[in-house]
Amino acid sequence: MNYKNEIAKRINAITNVEVSSLEEYIEIPPNTELGDFAFPCFKLAKEMRKAPPAIAAELKEKLAEDEVISKIDVVGGYLNFFINKSAFAKNVVTEVLAKGDDFGKSDIGAGKNIVIDYSSPNIAKPFHIGHLRTTVIGGALYNMYKAAGYNVIGINHLGDWGMGISKSIAGYEMWKDEYTFDENAIYSILAIYVRFNKLEKEDPSMTDKARDVLIRLENKDEETTKIWKWIIDISLKNYAKIYELLGSKFDSYNGEAFYNDKMDRVVSMLEEKGLLKESEGAKVVEMPEENMPPCIIITSAGTTIYATRDLAALLYRIENYDFEKALYVVGSEQSLHFKQVFKTLELMGYEKYAKSCEHIPFGLILDENGEKIGSRKGGKLPTLEEILNESIEKSLQIIEEKNPSLENKEEVAKMVGVGAIIFNDLSNNRIKDEIFDWNQLLNFTGETGPYLQYTYVRTNSILRNANVDLSDINTDELLDKEAIEVIRKLSEYPDVVLSAVNKNEPSLISRHLIDLAQCFSRFYNEHQIICDNEDTKKARVALSKCVGTTIKNGLSLLGIQTPEKM
């Protein structure tokens, strides 16, 4: 039962204010002794032309207490509702058991397309930790929108064009005989790129060599294009290992090069609408009304730029996906760029789609001392493969210490190690900087991924040891304070998922799962689950199963797997 909706419908019958608006106003009091739900009557002060306490008193007079709402109180300008705990427990536990893996899913996005642009590494370089956040946040959003019924298109907009890749190709042509290109070929290509850049600082003619490669690529020179495709293939094979570990999903790998033949159209459209202006040799779209610097479309050197490419990509996505939303999961430092691109799209006549575009920014990754990762030790960024492997190895060491006889130790260590990295990234608001501290993220008792996985495993263990039939549950055995707190958290989960989708904020799910696990821990510590009374045992085991189901579902949305044993 949707209690907020039930309460909203009752208030609607008296006030005629829309149910959807009323439902948004309803709150859950921080102190449950004040009530299960609270309606702030100041929200109706304008419509009813009365003081909030008077509105609360009037509504209480007209609202009836029944089998759903057992009590209604007035506290200042708030109307507090106490629900029938017996019906509440039965409704929630029955729903979670019945829906199982589908608990928390909805169909609000049915028939609507969502485009999510995320990860997007530059080819010819290994995945470094700097790409972790866009990949993990984007992956969670992909899963969350799917769970809300949307048709999701995940796009990996590869950095596969420009002077960067041209330097790698130029260096390969000069030094390929000095390197080996086995299964770790990506590291040889990186070494070539680093060597080229170092030499370029001493010898400017190296830049001309890279520029010559780019011209050959633009002219579709057969041999140069062959090397370019080979490097892309090597890069994608390296990324595939990372994506498999992280559970990342993409429906398109159309990178920058895909839009090479689509940018002239953007320039022509801007010229036809009189939007392109000359500025210091460049062609720009001016935005004085928005108090933003001009959006450069053609540089003073006569070349296109990121904005041109992003506009070409947007036109392609509009025409091929007709999206409800287009999300760009990119660091916060790119905020101005996306504001300019979306505004330019609007000026081109695509106002509806421009307003459906959203930049999803996020903070930096900092070490335990608050320094940017890689800012020391010569500025070398660790590769993501190194980080993930280290986390898996540390997890395996913990398992060897705590449960050396565990089956599938390596597989469990992989789930725990990778899950710890992902959860650490998604445990706080994405706009905040992420603190990367090994001592914290692999802690089995803190607010971490391993803690949630361990809680799920504990619920599984209860189910195995109890070995009871859960088809006929007397939920009146779950009316104690600790059980009701768990049930309350279970009941909130579907709304939390929708709120996380609406705000593009995976951490809402992370924090809710932690709250649920902590509530269950209190319940577990206060009450013997496998007890002598059969009705009590079945009810408590059923509640444990509901907790395990919800944690598994929530972690799955975040891209984290749950082992059956640990």
Active site residues: 125, 128, 131
* Placement of tokens 């990186």 in the chain: 190
CA–CA gap between residue 354 and residue 344 (Å, rounded): 8
Contact 105, 500 (CB under 8 A): no
Distances (CA, A) of 214 to 186, 224, 246, 265: 20, 9, 33, 21
Quickly tell me which residue has 């149910």 as its tokens. 19
Buried b (16+ CB within 10 A) or exposed e, 501-540: beebbbbbbbbbbbbbbbbbbebbeeeebeeeeeebbbbb
Q: In the 3-class helix/strand/coil scheme, how is 16-64 assigned residue by residue?
A: CCCHHHHHHHCECCCCHHHCCEEEEHHHHHHHHCCCHHHHHHHHHHHCC
Instruction: Give residues with Cβ within 8 angstroms of 404, minimum separation 6.
Output: none
Q: Is 327 helix (H, G, I), strand (E, B) or coil?
A: strand
How is residue 197 written in tokens?
């850049």
User: For residue 402, how many other CB atoms are within 10 A of its CB?
Assistant: 10
Residue burial 191-227, b: 16+ Cβ < 10 Å; e: rest: ebbebbeeebeeeeebeebbeebbebbeeeeeebeeb
Question: Parallel, antiparallel, or unpaired: how do β-strands 276-279 and 282-287 relate?
Answer: antiparallel
Tokens found for residue 517? 């696990």
Q: Which of 220, 214, 227 is nearest to 181 (CA)?
A: 227
DSSP β-bridge partners for residue 436: 367
In contact, 284 and 318? CB cutoff 8 Å: no
SS3 208: helix
509 HSE (CA, 13 A, CB side): 34
Pairing of strands 69-75, 282-287: unpaired
On the CB side of 282, CA atoms within 13 Å amount to 16
In 3D, which of 117, 546, 511 has the Cα closest to residue 330?
A: 117
Closest to 552 (Cα-Cα) out of 540, 563, 541:
563
Give the list of residues 6+ apart from residue 298 with CB closer than 8 angstroms, or none.
267, 276, 282, 283, 304, 305, 308
Q: What is the DSSP string of 262-303?
A: GHHHHHHHHHHTT-EEEETTEEEEEETTTTEEEEEEE-TTS-
CB atoms within 10 A of CB 87: 16
Residue type, 97: L
